[in-house]
Structures are given as structure tokens and as C-alpha cells.
Amino acid sequence: MNKRATIWAGIALILVVGTVCKKTGTTPSDTAKDDPSFGGDIQAVFSASCAVSSCHNAAASGGLNLSSGQAYNNLVNAPSSGEPTKIRVIPNDATGSYIVVKLEGRQIVGSRMPLGGSLSGTSIQNIKNWINKGAKNN
């Protein structure tokens, strides 16, 4: 291999490693966890699928900002803006939490979330497990 090819191969390796490292910290887990953490597992789901342009980011309509640093307080024990009698996340009660209803497409008002798609079964299970373990801010 000549010197020029070696340099380009090194640059390509650095770019690939950098991309993989970046994605590792922000991609939702592909494994269901018994006791997922909010910061390490649940926020990754929201950041990748919900807190995106025109959805649940800082410019979100309806007051549901799921961006990092905002999501927890906007979810836990907070009423839904679409159905104010429904609580978005009820600690220890995934079945009664409105976010699970919306993620599973069982809502009466509005659309299934995320709009135009769905989360993986693993992501939904991790959200349910987090809620059922007390919806801790960890």
C-alpha cells in the first residue's frame, strides 16, 4: 500500500470510529432492560424519535418538550394537553400512563406517537419498565 492510500485508509478509519462513538451515546438500546435509567435509556428514545424538528422539541406545540433536560418534568405526574384528565407518566403504573397509551396507539384523542411511525417494541418495553420501576429521574 502506498503512502497516500495509507493516509486515506487512516482518515476513513477515524471517521468510522468517530461516527460509531457518537451514535453509541444517543441511540436507544436494542435490548429490553428490567430497570432502565431515564438519562441513559429513556431520554435516548425521546431524543432519537420524539424531540425532533416540528415535534416535541423546544418549539413544541402543546407544551410537551421532550428535549434533554426538559423531558422528565414535562412527563412525570404532568397532565396531557390533549386530554387534561390523563397523566402522561404515573410512576409505578405504565398501563395507566397516557404516554404508553399514545405509544401503543390506544388513544381516543389525537394520533399514535411518534407521528407517522412507531417505536420498536424494545423501546416501548423500556419505557414501560422505567415507569413501573417508579419513573426515577436517574
What are the residue ranges spanned by the domains of the chain? 3-132
Question: pTM score, two decimals?
Answer: 0.77
Q: Are 68 and 47 in contact (CB under 8 A)?
A: yes
16 sits in which H/E element? helix 3-26
pLDDT above 60: residue 8: no
pLDDT above 80: residue 25: no
pLDDT of amino acid 62: 63
Instruction: Indicate the pLDDT class of residue 17, thresholds 50, 70 and 90.
Output: very low
**Between 99 and 8, whose confidence is greater?**
99
Q: How many CB atoms lie within 10 A of CB 121?
A: 9
Quote the CA–CA distance of 16 and 90 in Å, as a whole number. Answer: 41
